[in-house]
Copies of this chain bind each other. A is one copy, B any other.
Amino acid sequence: MKNTFGQSVCVTLFGESHGPETGAVIDGLAPGIPVDEAFIAFRLTLRRPAGKTSTARREEDRFRIVSGVFEGKTTGAPIAILIPNEDARSRDYARGPLRPGHADYTAHEKYHGFEDFRGGGHFSGRLTAALTAAGAIAISALSRRGVALGTHIARCAGVDDAPFSDYAADIARLNALPFAVLDEARGAAMREAIEAAAEQGDSVGGVLETAVLNLPAGVGEPWFDTVEGVLAHALFSIPAVKGVEFGAGFALADMKGSVANDPFRLEGGRVVTSSNNNGGVNGGIANGMPVVFRCAVKPTPSIGREQRTVNLASGREETISVTGRHDPCVVHRARAVVDSVVALALCDLLAQRFGTDWLGGDGA
């Protein structure tokens, strides 16, 4: 299945950094969901490089939807979204020394040298624009059933953000922010640290924390298609994500059961838990509490500082200083991609459980 993810709601991704267009196809979404192009365009701005904390490459992300939407609503047929590559400068790239931390070497091993190597080709972060556009539609679909999600930069360049305090309000606020932090002062400190690293020709990483609200209890398809497994599968497809943890995650390893367990109680006749160390998932199935997880985002591998590497053409060891336009940090941009793959994966789990029409909501 490779470049297609999902069983009932599926997304297929294609394109290369320096090809004419990249794109995504979303299949299986319910008919009757309003598609708001302005909202898609806004979501794209959230992952777009901006300011000193990002690459100088400018992409307007002028997407177009060529199928699956009629009179402003989903039809139930596949939605194909295309995004032209307007500012690709192939002269910046030539087959040269392997860039450490990138897919240059592994793509070469997998594709035997036939891969489009320019700018990372099919492995470029550029493809996350199409994922983000597709995710915007999935986010809209979820909202019709009251499922909301948002992500903040929990940590970046060694600076911690404030924790979530009021999920619903925090999510609403985060989703309007280009640099998604709950405490703007800490956000300023993060940006300062990012710029300091950039000045040294270096890059930084961080941790993104996401909360999903109102996912109905009973969603998830264990043993294997657990909420955690399906979301993690999707999240690890984001370049730079190297770890995923749910609820208290790795901190659970040091807790006692008497602390880690989330006691059940009744709230207005509804079963809830007093704590949420399990991140809203028990036995792989949503329990109705917020689904909370964190992703480790590694520092951008493209850095100006000199690194040792191998040049496959010459068969020799060399040094490399990655030129071109690069991000000293992708954590803030990756946040839009995290929301997107999660929204797509949740649409899939919901459609599996409740059928292909359910997300269409009352209007369908």
Contact = CB atoms under 8 A, between A and B. Distances in A.
Nearest to A101: B261
A232 interface: yes
A285 interface: yes
25 contacts: A2-B225, A3-B78, A3-B224, A4-B224, A8-B352, A14-B67, A16-B68, A22-B66, A31-B112, A32-B114, A75-B121, A105-B264, A105-B287, A106-B282, A106-B284, A109-B288, A123-B222, A127-B223, A197-B257, A205-B253, A232-B233, A243-B243, A252-B298, A263-B307, A355-B355
B242 A309 contact: no
Contact of A109 (B235, B246, B265, B285): B285
A48 B284 CA distance: 23
A247 B294 CA distance: 16
Nearest to A301: B261
Given A12-B27, A264-B308, A266-B310, A282 B114 contact: no
Contact of A257 (B5, B202, B219): B202
Nearest to A122: B77
Contacts of A31: 111-112, 114-115
Interface stretch (A162-170, A181-189, A356-364): A356-364
A289 B158 CA distance: 28
A190 to B, nearest CB: 12
A78 to B, nearest CB: 4
Interface string A153-165: 0011010000000
A37 interface: no
Interface in A196-250: 197, 201-207, 216-226, 228-230, 232-237, 239, 241-250
A310 B264 contact: yes
A286 B103 CA distance: 10
Given A75-B121, A103-B285, A249-B243, A263 B116 contact: no
A140 interface: no
Interface stretch (A38-46, A50-58, A141-149, A271-279): A271-279
Give the size category of A's interface with B: 35 or more
Interface in A299-337: 299-303, 305, 307-310, 312, 315-317
A303 B262 CA distance: 13
A119 interface: no
A303 B122 contact: no
B77 A16 contact: yes
A133 interface: no
Contacts of A75: 16, 111, 114-116, 121-122
Contact of A14 (B78, B202, B226, B241): B78
A310 B104 CA distance: 51
B263 A100 contact: yes
A340 interface: no
A136 interface: no
B299 A114 contact: no
B233 A229 contact: yes
A197 to B, nearest CB: 6
Given A82-B82, A354-B357, 7 more contacts: A2-B27, A12-B78, A23-B67, A100-B264, A205-B260, A228-B242, A242-B252
